[in-house]
Each structure stands twice: as C-alpha cells, then as structure tokens.
Amino acid sequence: MNGIDQKLLRIGVFYDGNYFNHVSNYYNYAHPRKSRLSLQGLHDFIQNQVSQFEGADPRYCQIVDAHYFRGRLTAHEANARQRLLNDRIFDDVLMKEGIVTHYLPSGRMGEKGIDVWLALEAFELAIYKRFNILALIACDGDYVPLVRKLNTLGTRVMVLGWDFEYTDDNGNERSTTTSIRLLDEVSYPILMHTIIDDKTRRNDPIINNLFVTSDEVYRPRLDPAEQARLLSEPTPPNRKRGKIVQLRNGYGFIDTDAMGKNLFFYWGDLLDFDFNELKIGDVVEYELGVNEKGECAKQITPVV
C-alpha cells in the first residue's frame, strides 16, 4: 500500500431507504425545520464526522461508494397509481449524488428482503473495496450481525440514527427509536436528533445543510372543466376520486360526492409523493379508511 492509500480513508454509505424516507417525512411535516433531508448535506456531514473521529484531514475522508436499498412497486403498478414520475424524480436525485439504487418489488416480504440484501451487499463490498468506514443510515437491531462481521474485517461502522416522537393530527402518538443493541456494537454511534436540535449549533452550516432549501415552483390550479373531466373518469375497484379543498400543516380535506362532507387525510397516507406537491383543486384518488374520528382518506395518489 503506498503513502496515498495509507492517508486516504475510504467511506461506504448504505441507506435503508424506507427508514430514510420516514425520517425525511418527519422533518418535512412534524419538525419545526419543515424541510426534507438533503443527501448531499448528509454526505458532507458524514465526511466531516469521519474527519473528526479519525483525526484526519477532511480531504482524505472520501465517500467512495453509496448505496440505497428500498422496496417499491412494479412499473405497471406504479403507472396505474400515477407514481412513475415521482419515482423517476427521486431516482434523478440519487443519481446526481452518485448513489447506486437497489430495488425489490414491494410485497408481503419486500422490506424484509431489502434488509437482507443491504447486509449482504455491504459485507461483500467492504471486503472488495476495503472500506475504512461504513456509514449506515438505519435503526434496526437486525443489522447487528452485519456490524459484527464488519468489525472482524477491521471496518469501523458509523450509524446515523434518530429518536423522535410526535402527535399526528389525529391525536395518535407516533415514535421512532434506534436500537440500543445496534448503537452498542458500532465504533461511531451518532444520534442525529441530538445534533440537529442542539441550540448551540443552530448557525452551523454543516447542520443547516442537512436540509433541502427548495424554492416553490408555480403550478396553476386545475380549471373547473379539467377537474370535472378527471373526476368523471372511471377508477379501479375500491378507489374513489375527489378534489383537494383544504390544505393545512401536514393534513387536508378532500371533497366527496356526499353534500357537505369532506374527508380528512394526513400526509402519512400519501403514497410516495410529497405533501408540498399538492395544491387546492388537485384531483386525487384514494381509498376509504377509518380513524378514531370517523371516515378518512387513505392510500392517496394524485391524478395527473
């Protein structure tokens, strides 16, 4: 190994995509930040942390591989639910950051299969690419065997995890925690919520750059004739259509056929598209559901 190789710290980054999306949604809708996580900002943060932990010049702390794992709908099903565009937009974001995508068709065993695939790929790539540091964006204790195997290779593992809880607009208590077993096994456990909420770092660009700064893109509301046309089109069995009549902070209401009756919906019931993409007057497709307050809309997709 030459002198340059001895200085360079090779970092591999592995995303549990479902977990990352869940955390990003929390910051976008339930946290005062009201913004999604930035992949570029997260990578800069990881390099900065490795530099501090390893006592190395940041120039020699390089992410040489990044991989994103998630279950998702097949192309035909995504097309039927008007989700292909959103999938492609996020693929573009991942591609721009040099992140390799790994997808399995979503199904009864979809997410479990993704966990296993991530562990196998991470271990194999750590052997062939000789990662010095492997950063894992995950919270599940099921990754403990992977961490133990990586430790035998001399690969130091960094886990970026979040603990948070909040009350949704239905009054339900929701919480997410990172496995203590997982944190105990890794070389560098990082609880991101404590760093992000640290008031002494509120002006730290490394922290602020963890979040996307997006300008609102103007999109006109649908005119009444187009709304009527979309509402009159046939829908799949058990699916209904309506137009958005109210939007609030992370929730809204959909107009229905029943006179004076609007259905409540929550951002967590949107199928893989951003609440911020919605406009009043948009036509959406949904399934009827029930919460503690009565009927509501679930499994919501936009009708383009």
Q: Which of 208, 241, 263 is the last residue of a domain?
A: 208
Residues 151 and 89 in one domain: yes
> In the prediction, which pLDDT does 260 show?
61
Statement to judge: residues 203 and 246 lie in one domain: no
Question: Per the domain annotation, does 138 fall within a domain?
Answer: yes
Q: Assess whether pLDDT exceeds 70 at residue 3.
A: no
Q: CATH code at 281?
A: 2.40.50.140
In a domain, 230, yes or no: yes
Same domain, 111 and 242: no
* Domain hosting residue 11, numbered range: 3-208
Q: 98-142, pLDDT tens digit by residue? A: 999 999 887 544 456 788 999 999 999 999 999 999 999 999 999
Judge if 43 and 184 occupy the same domain.
Answer: yes
Domain match, 138 and 35 both: yes
Do 169 and 28 share a domain, yes or no? Answer: yes
Which uninterrupted H or E stretch holds 81?
A: none
| Rounded (10°) CA dihedral 239, 246, 211, 191 | -70
Q: Is the pLDDT of residue 18 over 70?
A: yes
**pLDDT for 217 beyond 70:** no
Counting the structural domains of the chain, the total is 2
Q: Considering only CA atoms, which of 268, 274, 275 is closest in space to residue 248?
A: 275
Same structural domain, 244 and 186: no
Tokens found for residue 249: 């902070």
**Mean pLDDT of the region 186-199:** 96
Whether residues 298 and 193 share a domain: the answer is no
DSSP per residue, 91-128: HHHHHHTTPEEEEEE-STTHHHHHHHHHHHHHHHHHHH
Give the phi and the psi of residue 77 in degrees, each rounded to 5: -70, -40
pLDDT in tens, 162-178: 999 987 666 678 899 99
Q: 44 and 111, same structural domain?
A: yes
The reply to whether 135 and 255 lie within a common domain is: no
Domain boundary, last residue among 161, 181, 208: 208
Residue finishing a domain among 208, 243, 271 = 208
- Mean pLDDT value across residues 268-294: 80
Is 80 contained in some domain?
A: yes
Tell me the average pLDDT of the chain: 85
Helix/strand/coil for 222: coil
On whether both 46 and 105 belong to a single domain, the answer is yes
- The beta-strand segments (E) located in the chain are 9-16, 61-72, 100-105, 133-137, 156-161, 164-167, 173-176, 188-191, 240-247, 251-255, 262-266, 283-291, 294-302
Whether 37 and 63 share a structural domain:
yes
218 lies in some domain: no
Structure tokens that stand for 199 in this block: 């008031």
